[in-house]
Amino acid sequence: MKYIDEYRDKALVLALAGEIKKVSSRPVKLMEVCGGHTMSIQKFGIPYLLPDTIQLISGPGCPVCVTSNSFIDKAIAYSRRDDVIITTYGDLIRVPGSSSSLEREKANGADVRIVYSILDALEIAKHNRRKKIVFLGIGFETTAPSSAAGIIKAQMAGIRNFYVYSAHKVMPPAMEALIDEGVQINGYIGPGHVSTITGEGIYLDIPKKFGLGVVISGFEPVDLMQAILMLVKQFENNDPKVEIQYTRAVKPEGNIKAQQMLDEVFEPGDDWWRGLGILKNSGLKIRGEYADYDSEKNIAVEVEPLKEPKGCICGDILRGVKKPKECKLFARTCTPSNPVGSCMVSSEGTCQAYYLYNR
């Protein structure tokens, strides 16, 4: 299959593994920021191909995982209103909030619908004019532009019963916060899909300020092995910089049109990340001009008091300071079928990746 088989070529992967082994002389810790990378690394068994000098650490790049319980609680509160239909990407419905989940509310009669695109949510809005359609806006620079496009489209089409509940976030503040907090890493495997939108510009501060390299990587085994090799070379030569491995998708300047759309609808604001707390300008808030489409400004709900699950170390895992196996709940009380923390729920979550592929 084109664009897949050539990036899963065993001979090429093994050749890259040999090259990495040759180049790597000192222990190095590399963080894959993106949850998609974590999944791919575990799914293809990449750690078994790397020399002992290289340690891969998972980072905070799983949108569902870093989302706060209070966001889920508020979504649940919306879903309990008779006049609301919740539309969401699938992963989110199973995330436990303080005392319930959207999945449980759905079983209880709430109208919660899984969509693959915000455009499906707009269609639902068109066909249910008497209901308020709330789309749960989750994700980084990758999905935020489509939420922006949805809002712009709703405005153009005169759809007035459509709202976005935004927990959209941007990546760089989290990457910088980790280093500020003293998480020991030597380089970043940079997120591939985020970078298709943003380009390389958002990472340029990282080598300058912190002396760490960033290699923007694709998601297939050959991509990841090549990105690891590039980072190891940078580390060995003490030459940290931003490089793009994923050139077939990422342009240095990114997707300008998507950036403009993002800018048109959203503005930066402080936001809360699981494991990292409140990070300045790390969230995307809907601008005043589009306030009519902001669920928070239009639909009043009472939200239950916040409760975090006991014993869950998702926060430490998202900072990369602990591995899933160090959690007392992992694979015992916390499993993908009965998740306690968000890292076990999401198909990009570190705990789920380890549970499924590397227990």
Nearest approach in angstroms of CB 281 to other proteins is 31
334-353: which residues touch other proteins (CB under 8 A)? 335-337, 347
13 binds other proteins (CB under 8 A): yes
185 binds other proteins (CB under 8 A): no
Cα gap 278→223, rounded to integer Å: 33
235 binds other proteins (CB under 8 A): no
49 binds other proteins (CB under 8 A): yes
User: Rounded to the nearest 10 degrees, what angle do helices 221-236 and 10-23 cross at?
Assistant: 10
CB-wise, 13 or 232, nearer to other proteins?
Answer: 13
Nearest Cα residue to 66 out of 31, 99, 89, 33:
33
Using DSSP's 3-state secondary structure scheme, residue 24 falls into coil
Name which position in 21, 29, 43, 106 contacts other proteins (CB under 8 A): 43
Q: Which H helix or E strand runs over 19?
A: helix 10-23
Q: Give the max Cα distance, the chain.
A: 65
Nearest approach in angstroms of CB 344 to other proteins is 9
Sheet with 187-190, side-by-side order of all strands: 54-61, 28-34, 187-190, 213-216, 242-244
Cα gap 125→128, rounded to integer Å: 5
Cα gap 89→341, rounded to integer Å: 18
Name which position in 18, 27, 47, 211 contacts other proteins (CB under 8 A): 47
Nearest Cα residue to 209 out of 230, 178, 232, 233:
178
Nearest approach in angstroms of CB 355 to other proteins is 7
CB-wise, 299 or 356, nearer to other proteins?
Answer: 356
Question: 3-state secondary structure string, 98-124?
Answer: CCCCHHHHHHCCCCEEECCCHHHHHHH
Contact by Cβ (8 Å): 242, 206: yes
Q: How many residues bind other proteins (CB under 8 A)?
A: 30
Select from 41-49, 75-83, 132-140, 183-191 the region that touches other proteins (CB under 8 A): 41-49
CB-wise, 29 or 106, nearer to other proteins?
Answer: 106
Tell me the β-bridge partners of 215.
189, 243
Select from 18-26, 227-235, 290-298, 329-337 the region that touches other proteins (CB under 8 A): 329-337
Whether the CA torsion 140, 184, 203, 196 is positive or negative: it is: negative
Name which position in 35, 96, 150, 221 contacts other proteins (CB under 8 A): 221
Cα gap 13→264, rounded to integer Å: 42
Name which position in 20, 24, 38, 42 contacts other proteins (CB under 8 A): 42
91-130: which residues touch other proteins (CB under 8 A)? 94, 116, 120
CB within 8 Å of 307: residues ≥ 6 apart: 69, 98, 99
Cα gap 164→172, rounded to integer Å: 23
Name which position in 18, 27, 45, 211 contacts other proteins (CB under 8 A): 45
8 binds other proteins (CB under 8 A): yes
1 binds other proteins (CB under 8 A): yes
CB-wise, 70 or 117, nearer to other proteins?
Answer: 117
Name which position in 28, 34, 46, 121 contacts other proteins (CB under 8 A): 46
Nearest approach in angstroms of CB 48 to other proteins is 5
CB-wise, 96 or 240, nearer to other proteins?
Answer: 96
Nearest approach in angstroms of CB 147 to other proteins is 19
330 binds other proteins (CB under 8 A): no
Residues within the interface to other proteins (CB under 8 A): 1, 4, 8-10, 13-14, 17, 42-49, 94, 116, 120, 221-222, 335-337, 347, 355-359
